[in-house]
A and B are shown apart, each in its own frame.
Chain A
Amino acid sequence: MSILEDLSLRAKEHPMRVAFPEGENEKMMQAAYECAEEGAIHAILVGDSEKLRALASERGLDPEKFAYADLQEEELIADIIAKYTALPDTRLKEKALRRRMADPLYFAMVMQAAGEADVTFAGINYTTEDVLLAGQMIIGLKEGISTVSSIGLCEIPGFAGSEGELLAIGDSAVCANPTEEQLADIAISACETVKELLSWEPRCAFISYSTLGSGQGPLIDKVSAAVKIAQEKRPDLKLDGEFQLDAAIVPAVAAKKVKRESEVAGRANILIWPDLNVGNAGVKLIQILGHADAYGPLLQGFKKIICDCSRSAPVSELKGNIIMSAIRAAHAGEV
Chain B
Amino acid sequence: MERKELEEQIFEMIFQLYKKDVEELTLETTFADDLGGASVLMVGLVSEIENELDVMIQLQEAAACETIGDLVDKVEEEM
Chain B CB within 8 A of A96 CB: yes
CA distance A92 to B54 in the complex (A): 11
Q: Which of B43, B46, B60 has the largest number of chain A CB atoms within 10 A?
A: B43
Complex CA–CA separation, A91 to B40 (angstroms): 11
Taking CB atoms, residues of chain B closer than 8 Å to A91 are 43-44, 47-48, 51
Chain B positions within 8 Å of A129 at CB level: 60
> Interface readout for B22-56 with A: 1 if CB under 8 Å, 0 if not?
00000000000000001110011011101100101
| Residue A133 lies at the interface, judged by CB distance under 8 Å to chain B | yes
- Measured as residues with beta carbon below 8 angstroms from the partner, the interface class of chain A is 10 to 19
Contact of A96 among B39, B40, B56, B59 (CB under 8 A): B56
Q: Is A92's CB under 8 angstroms from B47's CB? A: yes
* Chain B residues within an 8 Å CB radius of A133: 43, 59-60
State the interface size on chain B (CB cutoff 8 A): 14
Q: What is the CA–CA distance of A128 and B54 in the complex, to the nearest angstrom?
A: 26
Interface residues in A62-104 by Cβ distance below 8 A to B read 91-93, 95-96, 99-100
User: Which listed residue, B39, B48, B56, touches A99 by the CB 8 Å rule?
Assistant: B56
When A99-B56, A137-B46 are in contact, do A93 and B51 touch as well, CB less than 8 Å? yes
On whether the beta carbons of A137 and B43 are closer than 8 Å, the reply is yes
Would you give the shortest CB distance from A203 to chain B, in whole angstroms?
A: 29
**What distance in Å separates the Cβ of A225 from its nearest Cβ neighbour in chain B?**
18
Nearest A residue to B58 by beta-carbon distance?
A: A133
- Do A136 and B40 form a contact, CB below 8 Å, given A91-B47, A129-B60? yes
Output the nearest chain B residue to A146 by Cβ-Cβ distance: B40
CB distance from A149 to the nearest CB of B (A): 13
The 5 closest A-B pairs by CB, nearest first: A91-B47, A96-B50, A133-B59, A93-B51, A136-B43
Q: Which residues of A contact B (CB under 8 A)?
A: 91-93, 95-96, 99-100, 129, 133, 136-137, 141, 146
Taking A92-B47, A92-B50, A129-B60 as given, write out 17 further A-B residue pairs in contact, using a Cβ cutoff of 8 Å, ordered by the A residue number: A91-B43, A91-B48, A92-B51, A96-B50, A96-B51, A96-B54, A96-B56, A99-B56, A100-B56, A133-B59, A133-B60, A136-B39, A136-B40, A137-B43, A137-B59, A141-B40, A146-B38
